[in-house]
Chains A and B, each alone.
Chain A
Amino acid sequence: MLLKPSLAPAFRVCFRSVPFLFLLGFLLALGGFLFARESKPEAANSAQLEEEPTIAGSGGIENHFQPYFGHDEDIHLDKTPPRLIMGLDLNRMGWTYNCMECHTHVEDIRYHREQKFEHENINLEHGNNRYCLNCHHPDNRNAFVDYDGSEIAEPNVTLLCAKCHGPKYRDWKAGVHGRKNGYWDLSQGIQYKLHCIQCHDPHSPAFKPMKPLPPPLYPSRAPAPKH
C-alpha cells in the first residue's frame, strides 16, 4: 500500500514496455499464438455448453462494447443494459492490454488480496468471494476457471457465475432472474437474454443504485405530501 503512489507508474511502464519489445522481437510467434487463441475457445469445454447462449463478439477493439439486443423499430424504448461489458481483450491508452502479455511474466498469487502494481482500479467487493483466482484462470488470463481447474471461455462467462450461484442461474435459465427482450413467442421472432455481467459488475456485483426518472406532477390542489 505504501509503495503505491510512487512506484506504481514506474512498474507499469516497465510492464508495458517489456511485452512491447517482446512483441517486436517475436512478432511472428505472437501472431501465431493469437491465431491459435482465436480458434480455441469452443473446444475448451463444449460438452456442457451446447445450449448456452454466449456473449457474441466479446473482446472487441473498444473497451466498452455491447452485444446486440432489441429491435430497430423499438428505438423509442431505452433498453440499454445497466452495465457495459468490459471484456478481457482490452486496449488501454493506445496500447494493447492482452492479459497474457504480462501474465506470462507475472507470478500467480493464489491468495491475492490487494493490487499494488497493476489493476489498482479493481476493488473486489464480492462478499466472501475474495480471491481473484476463484474466477480468473491462473494459467490463461483470457479465460475463467471452473471447479475442476478447467477453463471457461470468455464468451461463456455466465457459466462462471453459475458455478457458485446455482439457484440464481436456474432462475435465469427459466427466464425469471434477469431480463428478456424481443419476442415471448419464439415462433414469431428472436429473444434476447441479458447476461449476468450486463447487470452485475463481477468485481462488485451488488446492483448499483440509480437516479429515478421524474415523478408525476403532484396535484396542485391536494394537501402537501408527507414523506
Chain B
Amino acid sequence: MPSPDDKPVKTIEERIRPVSRRTFLKGSAASIVGMSGLVAALQPLLKLEKEDITLDQLLQRHYKEMTPAQLDKVMKRLQEKCEREYGVSASIQDLKPQDGVGFAYALNLTRCVGCRKCAHACLAENNQSREYDDDISMSYIRVLELQKGSINLETSNQYYDSESVPRKDKYYMPVQCHQCRESPCTKACPVNATWQEPDGVVTVDYDWCIGCRYCMAACPYDARRFNWENPKLEKRQINLDQGYLSNRLRPKGVVEKCTFCLHRTRAGKYPACMEVCPTGARVFGNILDPNSEINYILHNKRVYILKEEVGTNPRFYYFFDT
C-alpha cells in the first residue's frame, strides 16, 4: 500500500539535517567561525617559518615525485630564503648518483687516535645547528673511547677530554651513519621521507619528514640527529656549497644524518671527515670498482662490522692493521 501522504522518502542526510534557509545561514555562520578557528590554529605554524607559507610550499611534493622543473623552483626558493635570513648566497645543487658507483667507507681502528677532527669537520661542512662554535652535539660523528681488549660499547665514553690522545690502554672508534643496505631506519619511516639512493647513501627529504623520530629509534648506530629547535647558525658558519639531499639548511622538527657528504662525493671529492683525518685512518671509495682502496681492504685486512648480528649489512667497515 502506498503511504497516504505521497511524499518522496527522505535520505538519511535530509532527515538528520534538512536544509532550510535557516539552517543554511546557521551553517555558513558556523563555518565562518570554523574557518577563523582554523586560521587561528594555523598561526603557530605560520609563525614558525617567520614568513607566510606559500602555496607552493604547502603543495610541495616528495623529492622523488618532483619534476626537474619543480625541484629547480624549490631550490631557488631555498636559496632565496638563505639569502633573506642569513645574507649569504648559497649554491644548492642536486647531484644525481652515478652509474657504477657504490660508496663505501672503511675506518682503521689501529690508526685512529681519537683526536675528534672528523667530528668537527663534519660540523664545518654540513651546516648543523650549534650553540657555540665547537658544539658538536649535532655532528654526525661520535668518537667513542673504548677499553683495549674488547669491543664493548656499553662502557664506551664519548665525552673524554684528556690532555693528549691516544690514552694508555684505550682505543677509539668513530661512529657515524653506516648507510646500511638493510636499513632499519628507512623501514621505520611511516611517510617514506628517508630512503636509500642507488649509490647506497641513505638520505632524508627534509621537507617531507614529519619529525616522528621513529627512524632514530630504529637506528642501531645512533646516527641520526633531530632538530628540536630552529637550527642556530651564524652567517660565517654556513658552508655555501650545499646539496639538496645533504647539507642545505634544515627547518625545525626534522631528522638529519650523515650522507657521506653527498654534495662532495657525488662531485668526485672525498668526504670532509676523511680530508682532515691526521692519521689517515679513514678510507673512502667506490666499492663497485674492483681496484678501489675499499676492495683492497676487504681482501687484505681484518674487517670488523659493528653490530653485524643486527643484520644491517652496512657500507661502513672497520678494519685492523699492524
A174 CA to B136 CA, complexed, in Å: 33
Does B239 lie within 8 Å of A212, measured CB to CB? no
Contact with A along B265-294 (1 / 0, CB 8 A): 101111010111111101111100000010
Q: Tell me which of A174, A187, A188 has the highest count of chain B C-beta atoms within 10 A of its own C-beta.
A: A174
User: Are A182 and B161 in contact, with the CB atoms below 8 A?
Assistant: no
B268 touches A188 (CB 8 A): yes
Q: Which of A42-50, A78-86, A111-119 contacts B (4 or more CB under 8 A)?
A: A78-86
Our pick among B120, B158, B270 for the contact of A184 (Cβ within 8 Å) is B270
Q: Are A184 and B136 in contact (CB under 8 A)?
A: no
User: Does B234 sit within 8 A of A, measured CB to CB?
Assistant: no
Q: Is the CB of B268 within 8 A of A184?
A: yes
Is the CB of B185 closer than 8 A to any CB of chain A? no
> For the complex, is B296 an interface residue (Cβ under 8 Å from A)?
yes
Of the candidates B142, B241, B270, B301, the one having the most CB atoms from chain A within 10 angstroms of its own CB is B270
- Is B305's CB within 8 Å of the partner chain A? no
Is B279's CB under 8 angstroms from A78's CB? no
Task: Contacts A215-B159, A216-B135 given; indicate if A183 touches B270 (C-beta within 8 A).
Answer: yes
The answer on a CB contact under 8 Å between B293 and A174 is yes
For A216, the chain B residues whose CB sits under 8 A away are 135-137, 139, 142, 158-159
Q: Smallest CB-CB separation from A75: which chain B residue? A: B124
Q: How far is the CB of B167 from chain A (nearest CB, A)?
A: 9
Partner of B113, one of A174, A177, A209: A209
Asked if B275 and A214 sit within 8 Å, CB to CB, the answer is no
Main secondary structure of the interface of A (DSSP, over half): loop
By size class, the interface of chain B is 35 or more
- What CA separation (Å) do A174 and B280 show in the bound complex? 13
Contact residue range for chain A?
A: 35 or more
B165 at the interface (CB under 8 A from A): yes
Residue contact B137 to A211, C-beta cutoff 8 Å: no
Residues in B neighbouring A194, C-beta threshold 8 A: 280
Q: CB-CB contacts of A159-183 with B at 8 A, as 1s and 0s?
A: 0000000010001001111111111
Q: Tell me if A215 and B275 are in contact (CB < 8 A).
A: no
Interface residues of B in 230-283 (CB under 8 A from A): 239, 241, 265, 267-270, 272, 274-280, 282-283
- Cβ B268 vs Cβ A185 within 8 A: yes
In the complex, A176→B282 CA distance in Å? 8
- Chain B residue numbers with a CB within 8 Å of A218 are 159
Cβ of A70 < 8 Å from any Cβ of B? yes
Subset of 16 A-B contacts with CB under 8 Å:
A77-B124, A78-B121, A78-B276, A175-B285, A176-B296, A177-B280, A184-B269, A207-B113, A212-B115, A212-B164, A215-B116, A215-B136, A215-B161, A216-B135, A217-B135, A227-B160
Chain B residues in contact with chain A, CB under 8 A?
108, 113-117, 119-121, 124-125, 134-137, 139, 142, 157-166, 239, 241, 265, 267-270, 272, 274-280, 282-286, 293, 296-297, 300-301, 321-322
Binding site for B on A (CB under 8 A): 70-71, 73-74, 76-79, 81-82, 167, 171, 174-185, 187-189, 194, 199, 207, 209-218, 225, 227
Q: What 8 A-B pairs have minimum CB-CB distances, sorted nearest first?
A: A188-B268, A185-B268, A179-B280, A209-B164, A175-B293, A213-B116, A76-B124, A214-B134
